[in-house]
């Protein structure tokens, strides 16, 4: 039966792959993807992370090779996480000029030049023996302001080793201001800050704690990371970070917080970054291994959805693979 009058037929524009490609509202590009990478001190072979199949703790050499592959695929950036051989209460390996991240930074900046943006996560949890993101008081609580002094020192160590963008992820109050003033005071006015502004106290970080060997030995991160129940609070954190000098703001995790990504995108005029975290990756991998979802389609759909929600950049363990698919014209 044909219509008696013009009927809206949205399906017309979905009819062929070429039509769908023509009218797609959101596109993913390799340059918008950032690959998080782990480098561990004192290992001679890359070490697989069992809860993140396909992701490894790198040696300095394997890191260089994998970073080169990421750049070949067109990935826009790399963010480094270091795992020192020895951890202590102050996380002293974090700002050691000969610490693992600083060494890896020198390797990558020498190898890659400006072919991709080399960034660093700036936190203490990978470096402390207690696994917390800051230094502790005698009572075992995180000392916010003493932690800021540590972050300032780490910022200078990372900047002087060649990091172009620092990503403070500890959710301490005042961390962006402390890092900005330390950088400016040391002549690093040009080094950017990508703040993990709206970072939730999330179960989705589970596999990362294996990857970075940083599970808290007691307690949790709920006194500094945000309560998953809250959305308005994210804007407060974002505006504070911008006032303190953040150049980009991040929402983390991504998939379960797309409403936050959208709200932040609508409120700010700086790049919005979203982090598809370890648990998001692990869930796709686990379901795919069971044959329950199509891995490649789920990977690409998850990334596209994060972009559609408003993220300009996506940190994802799939960065190299997704970039290769995009370069082939696949979705």
* Footprint on this chain of ligand PBG (rule: CB under 6 A): 121, 123, 125, 169, 205, 208, 221, 277-278
Listed in sequence order, the residues at least 6 apart from 2 whose beta carbon sits closer than 8 Å to its beta carbon are: none
Q: Are 127 and 117 in contact (CB under 8 A)?
A: no
Whichever of 121 and 237 has its CB closer to ligand PBG, that residue is 121
Phi-psi sector, 174: left (phi>0), alpha (psi -120 to 50), beta:
left
What does DSSP assign to residue 227?
A: P
* Smallest separation (angstroms) from ligand PBG to the CB of 301: 19
| Contact in structure between 140 and 81 (CB atoms under 8 Å) | no
Residue nearest to ligand PBG (CB): 208
Whose Cβ is closer to ligand PBG: residue 32's or residue 126's? Answer: 126
For residue 317, give the nearest of 303, 297, 331, 301 by alpha carbon.
303
For the bound state, the minimum distance from the C-beta of residue 254 to ligand PBG, rounded and expressed in Å, comes to: 10
Options 40, 65, 87, 252, the catalytic residue: 252
Q: Which of 131, 147, 263, 145 is nearest to 197 (CA)?
A: 263
Looking at the Cβ atoms of 121 and 244, the one nearer to ligand PBG is 121
Question: Does residue 178 contact residue 118 with C-beta atoms inside 8 Å?
Answer: no
**Which residues, 6+ apart, have CB-to-CB distance to 183 below 8 Å?**
155, 156, 159, 166, 189, 191, 193
Catalytic residue among 40, 65, 87, 199: 199
Catalytic-residue membership of 40: no
- In angstroms, what is the minimal distance from the CB of 126 to ligand PBG? 6
DSSP state of 12: G
Least separation in angstroms between CB 146 and ligand PBG: 18
Least distance (Å) between residue 86 CB and ligand PBG: 18
Least separation in angstroms between CB 118 and ligand PBG? 17
Q: Between 205 and 318, whose beta carbon lies closer to ligand PBG?
A: 205
The residues, ordered by sequence, that sit 6+ positions from 62 with a Cβ below 8 Å of its Cβ are 45, 46, 56
Q: Which residue number, 224 or 331, has a Cβ lying nearer to ligand PBG? A: 224
Distance CA 108, CA 100 (A): 12
CA-wise closest residue to 329 among 116, 76, 30: 30
* Nearest one of 53, 61, 52, 59 to 82, comparing CA atoms: 59
Q: Which is nearer to ligand PBG, 182 or 211 (CB)?
A: 211
Question: Looking at the annotation, which residues are catalytic?
Answer: 199, 252
């Amino acid at each position: 039966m044909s219509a008696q009058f013009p009927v809206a037929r949205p399906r017309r524009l979905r009819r062929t792959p070429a039509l769908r490609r023509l009218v797609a509202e959101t596109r993913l590009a390799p340059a918008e993807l950032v690959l998080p990478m782990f480098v561990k001190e004192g290992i001679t072979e890359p070490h697989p992370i069992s809860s993140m199949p396909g992701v490894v703790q790198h040696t300095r050499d394997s890191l260089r090779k994998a970073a080169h592959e990421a750049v070949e695929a067109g990935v826009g950036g790399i963010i480094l996480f270091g795992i020192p051989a020895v951890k202590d209460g102050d996380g002293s390996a974090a700002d050691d000029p000969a610490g693992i991240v600083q060494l890896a930074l020198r390797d990558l900046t020498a190898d890659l030049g400006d072919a991709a943006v080399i960034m660093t996560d700036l936190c203490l949890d990978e470096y402390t023996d207690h696994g917390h993101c800051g230094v502790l008081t005698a009572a075992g609580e995180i000392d916010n302001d003493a932690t800021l002094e540590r972050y300032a020192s780490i910022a200078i160590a990372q900047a002087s080793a060649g990091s172009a963008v620092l990503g403070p992820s500890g959710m301490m109050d005042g961390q962006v201001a402390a890092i900005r003033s330390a950088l400016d005071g040391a002549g690093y006015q040009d080094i950017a800050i990508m703040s993990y502004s709206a970072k939730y106290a999330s179960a989705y970080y589970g596999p990362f704690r294996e990857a970075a060997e940083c599970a808290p030995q007691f307690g949790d991160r709920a006194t500094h990371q945000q309560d998953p129940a809250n959305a308005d609070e994210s804007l407060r954190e974002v505006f504070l970070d911008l006032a303190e000098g953040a150049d980009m703001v991040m929402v983390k995790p991504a998939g379960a917080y797309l409403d936050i990504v959208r709200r932040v995108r609508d409120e700010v005029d700086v790049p919005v970054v979203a982090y598809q975290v370890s648990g998001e990756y692990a869930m796709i991998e686990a379901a795919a291994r069971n044959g329950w979802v199509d891995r490649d389609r789920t990977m690409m759909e998850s990334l596209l959805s994060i972009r559609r929600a408003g993220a300009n950049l996506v940190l994802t363990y799939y960065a190299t693979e997704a970039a290769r698919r995009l370069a082939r014209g696949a979705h």
